[in-house]
């Protein structure tokens, strides 16, 4: 747990008692800081009270006697409508902050690597953490992914905190300084929370706040908003290092055809043999992780070794089994077309398990990649709509549920024996019609695939 004893003598209210809010409350209480907690859910309030936390509705506090509201990142505080407690705190001139800001105010000795962007944050966070660990560096990883930041261990000057940072979290930071700030990419997301793309980008840009001379900003420049962000950082106090995959020459780190090249050192790493980093989107993750770790001072050989041994993440193009040369891949985390696009682009011959609770765009944006699909197996309530999209373009079967779809895909793949074929669960849909969340859906796929006759278990995955 992070030591917040430097905050003694101050008073905080914590609103939202999920993972990050509870971690903040525990850390403040352990440091003997005056803290009250609240959640709009009565069950969570009761659980917090049973663990010795004092309850108080922050909307009704006398905010002149309190120093800040610690808000869980999922609770709106500006757009589209601020939570009444956030409004009350701000009306009294008090800051609304998050758990990441409390980490920053603890003045940690360890360096901080912050990772943001729309896609690939979790993979890049895990990948950087893996490279550091394999190189013998003390590190903790978490934030938006994994443990809450205030559950980190106190690390010394030789340690590194690797933080995945969402736009919601970055809106709530004031004093966080990232020794290395990584910006992967931008596509429109969370517009309902930020109002428009400009608001979303502005929230993300806080990852670069407070950087100083000697700090490094790693920026992927393969989309328009990211190129504009890089241009805005040029000439700033830190060092700007740009990353591109298949783009124009001139970036500090580039990947062409799966080969990573560092223009500053001339170093080259072939990413193509790394089975847990398939596809151009993972090459971007790898290039940004390389740049971040090199900025931290790791030798190139150590980074290359870490990349080669990366075990991957569950539910993100996770290789779970092989049967007679056919690879079975769990990409349950792909809950929209944009995420599934990355998986379809990574393989040439696909038996595709797709469907669930559909998003507004459906699978229409994926049509340019339909040529990679040998057969689609439709599951869930999206089946009728997806059948209309696929009609006349690729063959499909209405399978209904995941177990049936996997069995049908398995039998067809084994019968046809196509070269380098994969059976891919990449639903492009939420799971809620048949499963409580994407994790349970992916766990079921993994269990079913590993139970197939002749299955060889694979471990690790990619995202």
Question: In angstroms, rounded to a whole number, what is the distance separating the alpha carbons of residues 275 and 347?
Answer: 12
Kindly give, in sequence order, each residue whose CB lies less than 8 Å from that of residue 42, ignoring residues fewer than 6 positions away. none
* 117 belongs to an annotated ligand binding site: yes
Question: DSSP alpha helices (H): ranges in 57-204?
Answer: 84-91, 99-105, 121-134, 167-170, 191-194, 197-204
φ/ψ of 319, rounded to 5, equals -75, 110
Question: In angstroms, rounded to a whole number, what is the distance separating the alpha carbons of residues 125 and 164?
Answer: 6
Kindly give, in sequence order, each residue whose CB lies less than 8 Å from that of residue 206, ignoring residues fewer than 6 positions away. 170, 171, 173, 176
Question: In angstroms, rounded to a whole number, what is the distance separating the alpha carbons of residues 167 and 189?
Answer: 10
Kindly give, in sequence order, each residue whose CB lies less than 8 Å from that of residue 60, ignoring residues fewer than 6 positions away. 88
373-420 per-position pLDDT tens digit: 999 999 999 999 999 999 999 999 999 999 999 999 999 999 999 999
Secondary structure (3-state) at 456:
strand
* 437 belongs to an annotated ligand binding site: no
Domains and CATH numbers, the chain: 5-97 (3.40.50.720), 101-308 (3.40.1190.10), 318-457 (3.90.190.20)
* 357 belongs to an annotated ligand binding site: no
88-114 per-position pLDDT tens digit: 999 999 999 999 999 999 999 999 999
Kindly give, in sequence order, each residue whose CB lies less than 8 Å from that of residue 309, ignoring residues fewer than 6 positions away. 130, 134
Tokens of 175: 């004093």
- How far, CA to CA in Å, does 7 sit from each of 17, 33, 139, 414? 20, 7, 24, 62
Other C-beta atoms lying within 10 Å of the C-beta of residue 223: 16
φ/ψ of 412, rounded to 5, equals -70, -45
User: What is the pTM for the complete model shown?
Assistant: 0.88
- If you search the block for the tokens 């063959």, which residue do you land on? 395
Residues β-bridged to residue 55: 37
Residue pair 208/216 in contact (Cβ under 8 Å)? The answer is no
Residue pair 67/94 in contact (Cβ under 8 Å)? The answer is yes
* 119 belongs to an annotated ligand binding site: yes
Predicted pLDDT at 457:
85
Question: In angstroms, rounded to a whole number, what is the distance separating the alpha carbons of residues 220 and 289?
Answer: 11
Residue pair 350/344 in contact (Cβ under 8 Å)? The answer is yes
* 195 belongs to an annotated ligand binding site: no
Residue pair 252/291 in contact (Cβ under 8 Å)? The answer is yes
Each of the 463 residues of the chain gets a pLDDT tens digit; together they read 999 999 999 999 999 999 999 999 999 999 999 999 999 999 999 999 999 999 999 999 999 999 999 999 989 998 888 999 999 999 999 999 999 999 999 999 999 999 999 888 999 999 999 999 999 999 999 998 889 999 999 999 999 999 999 999 999 999 999 999 999 999 877 777 788 899 999 999 999 999 999 999 999 999 999 999 999 998 888 899 999 998 766 779 999 999 999 998 999 999 999 988 988 999 999 999 999 999 999 999 999 999 999 988 899 999 999 999 999 999 999 998 988 999 999 999 999 999 999 988 899 999 999 999 999 999 999 999 999 999 999 999 999 999 999 999 999 999 999 999 999 999 999 899 999 999 999 999 999 999 999 999 875 544 4
Question: In angstroms, rounded to a whole number, what is the distance separating the alpha carbons of residues 170 and 179?
Answer: 16
Q: What percent of the chain has pLDDT over 90?
A: 86
φ/ψ of 342, rounded to 5, equals -60, -40
């Amino acid at each position: 747990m992070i030591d917040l004893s430097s905050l003694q003598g101050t008073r905080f209210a914590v609103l939202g008692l999920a993972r990050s809010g509870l971690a903040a409350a525990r850390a403040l209480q352990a440091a003997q800081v005056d803290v009250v907690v609240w959640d709009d859910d009565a069950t969570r309030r009761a659980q917090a009270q049973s663990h010795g936390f004092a309850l108080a509705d922050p909307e009704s506090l006398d905010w002149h006697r309190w120093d800040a509201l610690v808000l869980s990142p999922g609770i709106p505080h500006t757009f589209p409508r601020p939570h009444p407690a956030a409004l009350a705190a701000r009306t009294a001139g008090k800051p609304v902050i998050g758990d990441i800001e409390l980490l920053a105010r603890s003045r940690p000795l360890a360096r901080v690597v912050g990772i943001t962007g729309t896609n690939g944050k979790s993979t890049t966070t895990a990948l950087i953490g893996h490279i550091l660990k394999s190189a013998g560096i003390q590190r903790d990883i978490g934030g938006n992914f994994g443990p809450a930041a205030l559950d980190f261990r106190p690390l010394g000057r030789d340690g590194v905190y690797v933080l995945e940072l969402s736009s919601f979290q970055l809106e709530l930071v004031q004093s966080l300084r990232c020794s290395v700030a990584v910006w992967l990419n931008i596509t429109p997301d969370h517009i309902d929370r930020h109002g428009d793309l400009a608001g979303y980008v502005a929230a993300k840009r806080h990852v670069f706040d407070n950087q100083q001379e000697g700090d490094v900003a790693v920026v992927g420049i393969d989309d328009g908003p990211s190129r504009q962000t890089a241009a805005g950082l040029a000439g700033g106090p830190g060092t700007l290092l740009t990353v591109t995959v298949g783009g124009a020459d001139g970036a500090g780190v580039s990947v062409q055809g799966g080969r990573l090249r560092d223009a500053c050192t001339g170093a080259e790493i072939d990413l193509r043999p790394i089975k847990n980093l398939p596809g151009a989107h993972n090459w971007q993750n790898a290039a940004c992780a390389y740049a971040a770790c090199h900025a931290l001072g790791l030798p190139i050989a150590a980074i290359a070794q870490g990349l080669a041994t990366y075990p991957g993440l569950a539910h993100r193009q996770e290789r779970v089994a092989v049967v007679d040369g056919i690879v079975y891949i769990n990409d349950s985390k792909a809950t929209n077309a944009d995420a599934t696009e990355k998986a379809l682009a990574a393989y040439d011959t696909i038996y595709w398990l797709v469907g669930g609770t559909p998003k507004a765009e459906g699978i229409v944006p994926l049509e340019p990649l339909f040529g990679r699909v040998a057969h689609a197996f439709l599951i869930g309530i999206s089946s009728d709509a997806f059948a209309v999209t696929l009609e006349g373009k690729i063959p499909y079967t209405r399978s209904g549920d995941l177990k049936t779809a996997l069995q049908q895909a398995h039998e067809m793949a084994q019968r046809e024996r196509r070269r380098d074929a994969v059976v891919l669960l990449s639903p492009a849909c939420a799971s809620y019609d048949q499963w409580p969340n994407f994790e349970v859906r992916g766990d079921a796929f993994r269990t079913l695939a590993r139970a197939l006759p002749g299955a060889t278990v694979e471990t690790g995955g990619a995202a």
